[in-house]
Amino acid sequence: MLKEISGGVCAAQGFKAAGIHCGVKASSSPDKNDLALILSDKECTAAATYTLNRVKAAPIYVTMDHLENGVAWGVVANSGNANACCPMSHENAEAMCVAAAQATGHEPEDFVVASTGVIGQTINISAIQAGMPQVAAALNGDGSDAAANAIMTTDTVKKEIAVSFTVGGKEVKMGAIAKGSGMIHPNMGTMLAFITTDCAITHEMLSEALHEVVGRTFNRVTVDGDTSTNDTCVVLANAMAGNGLIEWKDESYEAFKEALEYVCRYLSRAIAGDGEGASKLVTCKVSGARSEESAERLSKAVVGSALVKAAMFGSDANWGRVLCAMGYSKAPFRPEHVDVSFQSCAGEILVCKQGDGLIFDEDKAKEILSQKEVIIAVDLHEGDESAECWGCDLTYDYVKINGDYRT
């Protein structure tokens, strides 16, 4: 049975974490951590997914190289600078791994490296190198919160979760931290996400599970339609739970994948709900589709529409924008069969039936759309497949945040 527990990335056996302020960004507050370290007591099987943006930050290429052998010991990450599209970016990403290795007694190739922040400015590598002994000394079993804080940029809340579940009669734990608030569009796995588990699983099965789950979770999030240069999602599995090695797509594999999907879905919703300037989480659930792929495409188009997002901000039941977004999604559907309703904790209201508008209570609709979480429910009445995607409303604050992001 799967249940949520405390501990974040330190919940699984053998993992420690830490986060400190080292001054990556000169203007940052001393109260804001900006350097994170996660380390396992044992070598881990590792798998990752990355951004599909053709412009990739140097840490992604370094991580790809370090994970060619399918193993790693830990993660080093910073906020305050993306280390992308700037002089010495590759050398500085490697230097972060060297510093982490020297501070922990490992090799540079043992580390995944990730950065997040402003693009195009050379990273303050000397601050990171100076802070590495301190963050390594701070590694402990309660350090997930500090590490989660260290990877936040415009995030307003930390994203952290842990679960326990059973594999082959053994209790297995999985924990994660993530960051993401802006420059988010489904095209990879996530913004930055680090997942740890004490499960015993082969690299092939770990990678297969991650890629399956990413398609149904992180790739269904959109905040602003921009795909970041730095998106990275990494899973480390150190086998310390003592379960039988997962080598095949059997019952144990399905239990592991279920837990991974639970964790990634939680983080996906948290990222969408914390979109830059957002005041509400917007979910589009498309049901009655001929295929999951078409349901997903339709749902993504709706939550990604700037006009739909603006209507959600204004709590305006402008359902015509929903059909409009569906119409340019390039997914096949019959508009004359579509029902649309708005749902929240304040109730549900049907606004469109078989492609035509209904007379409805505008005040009730506004009350429903004024809640912190809103669902746009679309029924195609064409099949048995469904999908849901997550986004947020588009507020004045999004423009304010991104109008002076560098300063």
The residues annotated with a catalytic role in the active site are 190
Burial class, 98, CB count within 10 angstroms (exposed 0-12 / middle 13-18 / buried 19+): middle
Q: How far apart are CA 53 and CA 380, in angstroms?
A: 32
Task: Supply the DSSP symbol for 329.
Answer: S
Q: Residue 269: helix, strand or coil by DSSP?
A: helix
Task: Give the burial class of 385: count Cβ atoms within 10 A of its Cβ; 0-12 exposed, 13-18 middle, 19 or more buried.
Answer: middle
User: In the chain, what is the greatest distance between 2 CA atoms, to the nearest angstrom?
Assistant: 69
Q: Are 361 and 349 in contact (CB under 8 A)?
A: yes
CA pair distance 177, 367, nearest whole angstrom: 34
Give strand ranges (E) for 81-228.
111-115, 159-167, 170-179, 192-197
Check if the beta carbon of residue 226 is closer than 8 Å to that of residue 119: no
